[in-house]
Amino acid sequence: MIPTLQPASASMRRTLPGGFPMQLILGFLLILWIVLPMAPVFLWSIAGQWRAPAVLPSSYSLQGFSALITPDTARAAASSLSLGFGVAMIATPLGYLGAVAVRGLPAVPGRAVEFVLLAPLAIPPFALVMGSNVALLRLYVSPTFGVILVLVVTALPYTAFMFRSALASYDQRFEEVARSLGASPGQAARTVRYPLLASAAARAFFLAFLVGWGDYIATLLIGGGQLRTLPMLLGSAASATGNEQLTAALSLTIIVPPLILLAGLTLPARVRGRQ
Amino acid sequence: MSSSLEFASISRSFGNTEVLHQVSLTVEPSCCVALLGASGSGKSTLLRIAAGLDQSSSGQVLVDGENVNGVPSEQRGIALVFQKPLLFPHLTVVDNVAFSARMAGQSRKAARQHAMSYLELVHLSAVAHRSPGRLSGGQEQRVALARALARNPRILLLDEPFSSLDSRLREDMHLLVEDIRTELAPTIVLVTHDRREASALADSIAVLDNGRILQHGPVAQLHYQPATLAVNRILGGLNAVPGELIGDVHHSALGRIAVQPGLVNGPAFLTVRQEAIRIVAPGDGTATGCVTALKSLGAHTLVHIALSGESGPSETLTVEVPGDPGVAVGRSIGLRPTDGCGWAVTR
């Protein structure tokens, strides 16, 4: 006898109870969860004076931001940008190659490569840095290159994972169609595969950039003080007392470039999608 | 420009599994051959080998008599349309159709002009600047066809291109293929598991089963003169009446039916199409039987009949009649092949 299908119980429903209003409320709460911790940072960055137990600053000033306009900060920002782009530009193609290897290999060796690619996630950054620092020193690797090298290892799981997900849903037959339409393997890759994987590449690039841009531990230990980045400045400012405005302004300054990069990478794709 | 295509003893194995075994088939220029077979019969693999997307384990693919084994896919001049349209989502409709011209080094403007004439051929020039994501399933498949034709291929390979469309769209696409054949006369190899589609579109049908070509011939021949029981079954034949062949006459529960000459006397099956048997009054036919079931196919009805043998009901037979058959379950009827003769197979 064929069993009759029972109506779905509340626990089986895939949609949230409460419908659209509940989705709206949860969405709003999610935004609050992300934005709310930023509110004190923002207030501190423009606070002239803010003493406990006052809820808001008693006066406002842009002194924190104006204190940032120094050659030292500009050099640190340039170093951070170089580190972010350097890591992203190496880790993104490496992640792609790793993901292609995982896809192309039979199941068991493929999983082994996947394990190797994801292994850095399981290693605490401090342990990774301390382990590699000695080797880098013995090999006379320059601090900047050493930091990039270590951070590429840290960024690789993210970029490989991004491409792995993208390749899983990528239909290889697009390239076969392109080949039967007269495209050489190189043309098929340039005109079909890369454009179709562009959004995954952008996400991978962004994540790798963040690894380099926001790093503190590797820059401190391997850079050995020679490499001054924005997180290093932030660390110095935060460790001293009475620097709350400068620390908050520096924090916001560190947040803005990744947001601009994220917008630059994602918004054009969304506009194209709508068109 | 259309070319001939020949598969010469093509075999293909994946590990220990042989998907194609010594397949030989010739497609004349401007002809349309349908490769008909069930899923897993190897028909798509054969097409991929022809397109250069897969390599055969042995045998040759000849285009105009020239061996193209080892020639890269892009240099074969063979276009392939898959079951999924696989339109490039990052390109507009016109740029999809212009793709082959762009790959050949044409300017964007010239390639688009070339593409527009093919979009007009498939009646889709109005959607030229749309994104593929905004097309219906039928439109997508038309664009895929236009894109393949814009390549000016010597041979067009169609791998079940209409199987995901509803019946009305499929009929529209069949008309479109007829228009294309009239206008451009390409050589076409169509892979399908739908015998009606194969019959409607192709000049000849090659039946593929378990990696072997069982029979290749004109559409009517495969329906009424199948080489084997498997061909009869794949072409939708519902009747295979066992009996004995004695001097070009088949003796069975259906009576004594003259069959094709040249067969050796002995056990043989009579393959008689369900459409080629007429229900008559008991005693007027070559055999009698009792109606066991009726199945409506819409405009037609299948009548299942238990044939009366010397020792009671022996074999079952199916007859397809237009409209209401005018018989009820349990009624005794007579049966007669429409042209008075049949076709016997021994395996």
CATH of the domain at A236: 1.10.3720.10
pLDDT of residue B312: 53
Our separate counts of H helices and E strands in chain B read: 9, 20
Evaluate if residue A18 carries a pLDDT over 80.
no
Partners of B8 in the β-ladder = B60
Evaluate if residue A12 carries a pLDDT over 80.
no
Query: What is the average per-residue pLDDT within A217-238?
Result: 88
Choose between A242 and A89: higher pLDDT.
Answer: A89
Asked if B103 and A174 come within 8 Å (Cβ–Cβ), the reply is no
Using a CB-CB distance cutoff of 8 angstroms, which residues of chain B are in contact with residue A166? none
Evaluate if residue A269 carries a pLDDT over 80.
no
pLDDT of residue A273: 53
Using a CB-CB distance cutoff of 8 angstroms, which residues of chain A are in contact with residue B114? none
Mark whether B39 and B174 lie in a shared domain: yes
Encode pLDDT of B209-266 as tens digits. Answer: 999 999 999 999 999 999 999 999 999 999 998 989 998 898 888 888 888 888 889 9
Asked if B80 and A191 come within 8 Å (Cβ–Cβ), the reply is no
Choose between A67 and A275: higher pLDDT.
Answer: A67
Asked if A183 and B88 come within 8 Å (Cβ–Cβ), the reply is no
Choose between A147 and A270: higher pLDDT.
Answer: A147
The residue among B224, B255, B277 that closes a domain is: B224
- Alpha-carbon distance of A173 to A99, in angstroms, equals 18
Q: Is A46 on the interface with B (CB under 8 A)?
A: no
Evaluate if residue A270 carries a pLDDT over 80.
no
Encode pLDDT of B12-61 as tens digits. Answer: 998 888 999 999 999 999 999 999 998 888 999 999 999 999 999 999 99
Mark whether B248 and B203 lie in a shared domain: no
For residue A275, give the chain B residue with the closest CA: B131
CATH code of the domain in which B257 resides:
2.40.50.140
Mark whether B78 and B166 lie in a shared domain: yes
Token pair in block for residue B63: 């285009």
Of A171, A180, A195, the CB nearest to B80: A180
- Alpha-carbon distance of B248 to B261, in angstroms, equals 5
pLDDT of residue A130: 83
Asked if A180 and B86 come within 8 Å (Cβ–Cβ), the reply is no
**Count of Cβ atoms closer than 10 Å to residue B220 Cβ:** 10
- Determine contact, residues A213/A80, Cβ cutoff 8 Å: yes
pLDDT of residue A25: 92
For residue B50, give the chain A residue with the closest CA: A180
Mark whether B114 and B183 lie in a shared domain: yes
Evaluate if residue B62 carries a pLDDT over 80.
yes
Torsion angle in degrees (nearest 10) through CA of B22, B188, B33, B201: 150
The structural domain count of chain B equals 2
Average predicted confidence (pLDDT) for chain B: 90
Using a CB-CB distance cutoff of 8 angstroms, which residues of chain A are in contact with residue B95? none
Query: Which residues, in sequence order, are CB contacts of B169 under 8 Å at separation 6+?
Result: B137, B138, B141, B162
Q: Chains A, B: CB contacts under 8 A, how many?
A: 66
The residue among B224, B258, B282 that closes a domain is: B224
Encode pLDDT of B1-21 as tens digits. Answer: 689 999 999 999 988 889 999
Q: Is A269 on the interface with B (CB under 8 A)?
A: no
DSSP reduced 3-state for B337: strand
Residue B74 C-alpha, separation from nearest chain A C-alpha, in angstroms: 4
Mark whether B218 and B250 lie in a shared domain: no
Q: Is B246 on the interface with A (CB under 8 A)?
A: no
Q: Which among B87, B99, B131, B152 is the top mutation candidate for probing chain A, defined by the most A β-carbons within 10 Å of its own β-carbon?
A: B99
- Alpha-carbon distance of A231 to B17, in angstroms, equals 60
Residue B156 C-alpha, separation from nearest chain A C-alpha, in angstroms: 10
pLDDT of residue A16: 66
Evaluate if residue B191 carries a pLDDT over 70.
yes
Asked if A181 and B147 come within 8 Å (Cβ–Cβ), the reply is yes
Encode pLDDT of A104-127 as tens digits. Answer: 888 888 888 888 888 888 888 788
Mark whether B145 and B176 lie in a shared domain: yes
Q: What is the amino acid identity at position B215? A: Q
Mark whether B211 and B265 lie in a shared domain: no
Q: How would DSSP label each residue in B31-84?
A: -EEEEE--TTSSHHHHHHHHHTSS--SEEEEEETTEE-TT--GGGTTEEEE-SS
Of A176, A183, A192, the CB nearest to B53: A176
Evaluate if residue B190 carries a pLDDT over 70.
yes
Query: What is the average per-residue pLDDT within A145-160?
Result: 93
Query: What is the average per-residue pLDDT within A70-86?
Result: 93
Encode pLDDT of B269-313 as tens digits. Answer: 999 899 989 998 888 888 888 999 999 988 899 999 998 766 555
Mark whether B286 and B220 lie in a shared domain: no
Residue B230 lies in a domain: no
Encode pLDDT of A167-187 as tens digits. Answer: 988 999 999 999 999 999 999
Asked if B74 and A173 come within 8 Å (Cβ–Cβ), the reply is no
pLDDT of residue A148: 93
pLDDT of residue B107: 94
Best CA proximity match to B104, nearest among B157, B150, B49:
B150
Q: Which among A177, A199, A270 is the top mutation candidate for probing chain B, defined by the most B β-carbons within 10 Å of its own β-carbon?
A: A177
Which range marks the domain in which residue A176 is found? 71-268
Q: Is B100 on the interface with A (CB under 8 A)?
A: yes
Mark whether B99 and B191 lie in a shared domain: yes
pLDDT of residue B213: 93
Residue B53 C-alpha, separation from nearest chain A C-alpha, in angstroms: 7
Choose between A16 and B131: higher pLDDT.
Answer: B131
CATH code of the domain in which B128 resides:
3.40.50.300
Q: What is the amino acid identity at position B225? A: Q
Mark whether B97 and B58 lie in a shared domain: yes
The structural domain count of chain A equals 1
Share of chain A above pLDDT 70, in %: 94
Best CA proximity match to B330, nearest among B313, B345, B314:
B313
Q: Which among B61, B82, B103 is the top mutation candidate for probing chain A, defined by the most A β-carbons within 10 Å of its own β-carbon?
A: B103
Using a CB-CB distance cutoff of 8 angstroms, which residues of chain A are in contact with residue B88? 174, 178, 192, 195-196
Token pair in block for residue A68: 């940032």
Residue B235 lies in a domain: no
For residue B100, give the chain A residue with the closest CA: A181
Average predicted confidence (pLDDT) for chain A: 87
Q: B194: which DSSP letter?
A: -
Asked if A171 and B51 come within 8 Å (Cβ–Cβ), the reply is no
Task: Give the strand order in the sheet containing B17-27.
Answer: B17-27, B5-14, B58-63, B66-67
CA A69 to chain CA centroid, nearest Å: 26
Mark whether B262 and B159 lie in a shared domain: no
User: What ipTM goes with this model?
Assistant: 0.83
Of B76, B86, B102, the CB nearest to A177: B86
Residue B248 lies in a domain: yes
Best CA proximity match to B83, nearest among B30, B146, B159:
B159
Q: Is B104 on the interface with A (CB under 8 A)?
A: yes
Residue A248 lies in a domain: yes
- Alpha-carbon distance of A231 to A218, in angstroms, equals 11
Which range marks the domain in which residue B261 is found? 244-345
- Alpha-carbon distance of A44 to A57, in angstroms, equals 8
- Alpha-carbon distance of A34 to A47, in angstroms, equals 21
Q: Is A171 on the interface with B (CB under 8 A)?
A: yes
CA B14 to chain CA centroid, nearest Å: 25
Query: What is the average per-residue pLDDT within A86-90?
Result: 96
Q: Is A192 on the interface with B (CB under 8 A)?
A: yes
